[in-house]
């Protein structure tokens, strides 16, 4: 009997499948510099899912101009704080951190996460950065930002999540001035300062953890059938591989940690970015359970369970699709919380 041909079970592109070291996702790449200087990232806390009725604006679609029911994820996005500027210099071994320029005003809960610098001289640090700029060795400018979880009633934590966010757009000198001004003004910035409704963004999060699972759940292999299942093991793999090489290769599906992995999804459309005010004539969204503050509606699903941190980044590989018309965001909203 010929052996059936099918693709292998489970992608090896995400290996090794071990627990994430932190619930704060990290971005290894950022969009190319374009336009005016600005922060290239934001973060929020996942609230849940619902659905909205959208007008299809995809060109050449058979349903273009028609109303569709679309699942969306609600992410609570209160304003974030930028507390420091981190400068990178170009070296023969790549970019290396040069120095940091910290603010004098810190959130009352920030010391739960890190040791707030006390004897810091921001003028001397800024002078060092300016010297690197004049010498032409200043490579990149980034911000140390953090969330304010106690501004979200549904998230039972006070400890802020600290992350590094790149400043993009314009020249290096323009990005440096923008970052210094933002830190000096208190560092507060909102979601709608970075993104607009209808744009595409990359969303990163840590998936829901499932502990140790077998190869059937972890890799999607088929259960044993017929005579093979009568050995007494139905959810085990048939063998650990051939005689040679005399080792178990990493491609053999085995049990292990499942879930709690960082995953980044590309080109997620931002349906709406709101402030949580009263519903308006154009279908403003406000009530999802107890979501009563700034929020963002993301088309489709988002990695991770409710109340977990979610990071946004401008799309590094955006689709060539039109931007959602801000005047016709969506027709109506209905929550699936019954």
* Amino acid 4: pLDDT: 77
Does the pLDDT value for residue 326 go beyond 70? no
My answer on whether omega of the bond before 245 falls inside 30° of 0, hence cis, is yes
Output the pLDDT for position 323. 52
| Other beta carbons less than 10 A from residue 31's beta carbon | 17
More confident residue, 331 or 306: 306
- For residues 328 and 107, the model is more confident at 107
pLDDT in tens, 9-32: 888 888 899 999 999 999 999 998
Q: Considering only CA atoms, which of 262, 259, 258, 289 is closest in space to residue 276? A: 289
Is residue 1 very low, low, confident or very high in pLDDT (cuts 50, 70, 90)? low
Report the pLDDT value the prediction gives residue 81, as an integer from 0 to 100: 96
For position 230, what pLDDT does the model report? 87
How sure is the predictor about 236, in pLDDT bands with cuts at 50, 70 and 90? very high
Residue 338's pLDDT is 32
Q: What is the pLDDT of residues 113-132, one digit of tens each?
A: 999 898 899 999 999 999 99
Q: What is the pTM of this model?
A: 0.87
């Amino acid at each position: 009997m010929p052996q059936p041909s099918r693709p292998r079970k489970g992608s090896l592109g995400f290996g090794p499948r071990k627990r994430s070291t932190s619930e704060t996702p990290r971005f290894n790449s950022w969009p190319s510099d374009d336009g005016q200087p600005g922060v290239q990232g934001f973060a929020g806390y996942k609230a849940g899912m619902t659905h909205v009725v959208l007008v299809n604006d995809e060109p050449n679609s058979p349903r273009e101009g028609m109303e569709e029911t679309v699942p969306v994820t609600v992410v609570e996005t209160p304003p974030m704080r930028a507390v420091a500027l981190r400068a990178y210099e170009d070296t023969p071994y790549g970019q290396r951190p040069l120095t940091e320029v910290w603010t004098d005003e810190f959130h009352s809960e920030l010391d739960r996460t890190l040791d707030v610098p006390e004897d810091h001289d921001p003028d001397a640090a800024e002078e060092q950065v300016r010297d690197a700029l004049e010498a032409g060795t200043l490579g990149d400018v980034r911000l140390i930002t953090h969330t304010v979880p106690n501004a979200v009633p549904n998230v039972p934590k006070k400890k802020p999540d600290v992350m590094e966010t790149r400043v993009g757009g314009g020249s290096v000198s323009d990005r440096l001035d923008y970052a210094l001004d933002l830190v000096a003004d208190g560092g507060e910035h909102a979601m709608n300062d970075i993104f607009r409704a209808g744009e595409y963004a990359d969303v990163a999060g840590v998936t829901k953890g499932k502990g140790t699972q077998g190869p059937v759940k972890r890799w999607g292999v088929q259960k044993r059938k017929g005579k093979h299942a009568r050995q007494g093991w139905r959810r085990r793999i048939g063998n650990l591989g051939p005689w040679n090489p005399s080792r178990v290769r990493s491609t053999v599906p085995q049990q292990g940690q499942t879930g709690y992995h960082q995953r980044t999804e590309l080109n997620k459309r931002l349906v709406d970015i709101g402030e949580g005010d009263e519903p308006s004539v154009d279908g403003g969204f406000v009530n999802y359970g107890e979501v009563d503050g700034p929020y963002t509606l993301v088309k489709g699903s988002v990695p991770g369970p409710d109340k977990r941190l979610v990071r946004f980044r401008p799309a590094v590989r955006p689709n060539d699709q039109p931007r959602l018309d801000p005047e016709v965001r969506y027709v109506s909203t209905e929550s699936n919380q019954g």
